[in-house]
Amino acid sequence: MTTYVLIPGAGGSAWYWHPVGAELSRRGHDVVAVDLPGPDPGAGLPEYADLVVDAVGDRSDLVVVGQSLGAYTAPLVCARRPVSLLVLVNGMIPRPGETPGEWWAHTGQEAARRANDVREGRDPDAEFDLATYFLHDLSQEQIDASAEHMQEESEAVFATPFPLDAWPAVPTRVVAARGDRFFPAEFQRRVAQDRLGITPDEVPGGHLTALSHPKELADLLESYLHAVASMP
């Protein structure tokens, strides 16, 4: 049985993954969605990786999926456990030694977001609005529920350098949501090519595509799994 290990982004709530987890469970897979202590000022990337590895336990045949900031933790898990496949969804793809706090300026995320706002008719100088960049494609029911699970992310993780000297030797795929306003798809394509030499596959939805389009994301994850399983 394949185990999907689902790592959330900033705030650390496993709840974010529940629609995708339900889809994958219905298809006969084991699912481990990990709660991370986002607000804890004493928890950095090593502690996050420890928590994920502990949650996995003695399970095998692992597919590790990291969302957004979770892209910093996911490769660390792959360096410690045998993993069949690593997938990054709207991910902050790290470089060796780079902190998540440095990632924004290194990748040019802010300029990319502003340029996308101009293209789509939003004021790039408007005050940052959570609904505009994260909740715009969710149902009202999902928006209400997300408010109950939303947490701040402490500076501890953002100050932790990515400790691996090289990307783990694991088949890796990158997924970009076409409607992501926070990490625009064009920006994600550039970063993925620059850092991993990978062209992302695209799914519908925004930055929280696992909430807005879980079936499409689960379908893509399954297609990756089948492709890797058929590799010689």
pLDDT digits (tens, 9 = 90+) for 102-143: 999 999 999 999 999 999 999 999 999 999 999 999 999 999
Residue 187 CA: distances (Å) to CA of 24, 96, 111, 115, 182? 29, 20, 10, 10, 10
**Number of domains composing the chain:** 1
pTM: 0.97
Give the model confidence (pLDDT) of 27-83 as tens digits. Answer: 999 999 999 999 999 999 999 999 999 999 999 999 999 999 999 999 999 999 999
* Amino acid at the residue 187: F
Contact between 86 and 168 under an 8 Å Cβ cutoff? The reply is yes
Nearest to 98 by CA among 65, 72, 59: 72
The closest of 20, 41, 19 to 157, measured between CA atoms, is 41
For residue 169, the domain's CATH number is 3.40.50.1820
Query: In this structure, what token pair is assigned to residue 71?
Result: 């892209």
Beta bridge partners of 85: 63
Pairing of strands 3-7, 30-33: parallel
Domain limits at 40? Answer: 3-229
Q: Please, what is the end-to-end C-alpha distance for the chain in angstroms?
A: 20
